Structure 1
Amino acid sequence: MSIRHGLLALLERGPRYGYQLRTEFESRTGSTWPLNVGQVYTTVARLERDGLVVPAGEDEAGHALYAITEDGRDELRQWFATPVDRANPPRNELAIKLAMAVGSPEVDVRSVIQAQRAHTIRAMQDYTRLKGQALEAASRRPGVFDPDDVAWQLVLDQLIFQAEAEARWLDHCETRLVRLAPQAAADSRPSPAAEPERPADSKQEEGAARNGGLRGALGRPRPRR
């Protein structure tokens, strides 16, 4: 997520101060990715250093305002026009967790998957409920276009689709593990140990004992009836 470009998009609507940028950013995204004021001011300072924003005086309450420059507008237009790069996807904690769990003798990977699936489905239900509330609120204002409401609905759609995809992926992982379980069990089973070779004299003694016992049994006179 580019906080840098998100703040530029808000500044394109007019000068803003730090806390105002934070509030509007969270309102636009439904507080899905909360910011702290320090993070906002650090980002704004870097934007100013790069010539993308400039100080724009103060408002009536004495808040220091910042405004976007033409270079900042060019940067923002380029950001909107450029697809998000998928060549270097961000680290996914769940994918890393499952990758490390496979082959770990102390971890039941299917239990990990099932616990995560239950959590993902609950999250998807929560997002769906929030979307229903957002649509209901919008229906009370027919004909009114509120950018924050529409943006929040788009964010919720993305979260719902992402949760659905994650649940399907977890189903796929479990199916694959079930299919590979017999092979994994066979590979982990220790091979039978070969019987150690015994000395020749030991074999001869054992054979003689067996033969002597057999001959003794056959040579004994049968009891008379």
Structure 2
Amino acid sequence: MSLRHGLLALLEEGPAHGSLLRTAYATRTGAPPPALGRVHAALGRLERDGMVVREGVDEAGRGRYVLTGAGRAELRDWYVRPARGEGPPCDEFVLKLVLAVRAVLTARAPEADVRRIVETRRRQVSGALHDYVRQRAEVLALPPEHPAELARLLVLERSISRAEAEARWLDHCEARLLRLHVTDGAEGPPGTVDHPARGAPRR
């Protein structure tokens, strides 16, 4: 999610200081609030690029930022540009899984518990999915005239779709690992490779 362009969109609604923008960003998008230092750093870069200017201070002495014409043009262009793809998954779980599988298959760490890695992730995804569904039910229980809640609902439904997709992918991973004998079913220490006797065909 682009903090830079999110700030431009928020400033289109009117002048604001960094702390207010931080709170509004989380409210509008349903994402966790970004660190205030990150917000101020992004505002500094936008000011350097001529997208925003500081205009006066509020009653607490905090500098207010205002969108410039260049900022409005950039925001309009951003809305119609194709979103950048996120690329291949490189998160910690995927890295942990592929390295553990390789360690088992090369016998460099045959004790690596691949099954436990998958099961731990499955519990994590299941818990997150349950929480997303609960939050969605809370939003749906509100009157429909809350535009900020509509944005939150859309984000939650995307999170639900991703969690459901990952749960299916984990099922696929488990089945494939069992077929390749990277996890052994119930015949030995979990996570070990089921090596056949030399010369015997694999099952």
TM-score by length of 1: 0.75
1:180, 1:51 → 2: CA distance?
Answer: 57
Does residue 64 of structure 2 align to residue 56 of structure 1?
Answer: no
- CA distance in 2 between partners of 1:39 and 1:106 (Å): 42
Which structure: larger Rg?
1
Identity of aligned residues (%): 47
Which of 132, 135, 158 matches 1:127?
Answer: 132
Q: Indicate the RMSD between aligned Cα atoms, in angstroms.
A: 2.3
Matches within 5 A, 1:184-199: 185-186=194-195
After superposition, residues 143-222 of structure 1 pair within 5 angstroms as 144=145, 146-181=146-181, 185-186=194-195
SS of residue matched to 1:66? strand
Whether contact under 8 Å (2:23, 2:33) holds in the other structure is no
Q: Which runs of 5+ in 1 are unaligned?
A: 192-225
Counting only pairs closer than 5 Å after superposition, residues 29-108 of structure 1 correspond to structure 2 as 29-30=29-30, 32-86=31-85, 88-89=87-88, 91-104=90-103, 105-108=110-113
Distance 1:89 1:72 in 2: 31
**C-alpha offsets along residues 56-76 of structure 1, whole Å, 9 cap, x if unaligned?**
222344331111111111211
- Unaligned segments of structure 2, at least 5 residues: 104-109, 183-192
Give the distance between the partners of 1:190 and 1:39, measured in 2 at CA.
Answer: 58
Q: Deviations over 1:157-180 (max 9, x none)?
A: 111111111111111100111111
Instruction: Name the structure with the higher helix share.
Output: 1
Determine the structure 1 residue equivalent to 2:189: none
Deviates more, 1:17-26 or 1:54-63: 54-63
C-alpha separation between the residues in 1 aligned to 2:80 and 2:26? 23
- One-letter amino acid of the structure 1 residue matched with residue 136 of structure 2: K
Distance 2:29 2:89 in 1: 20
Query: SS where residue 102 of structure 2 aligns?
Result: coil
SS state of the match for residue 33, structure 1? Answer: coil
Whole-Å Cα distance in 2 between the matches of residues 90 and 21 of structure 1?
30
Number of aligned residue pairs: give it. 185
Match of 2:185 in 1: none
Q: Which has the higher contact order (CA 8 A, sep 6+)?
A: 2
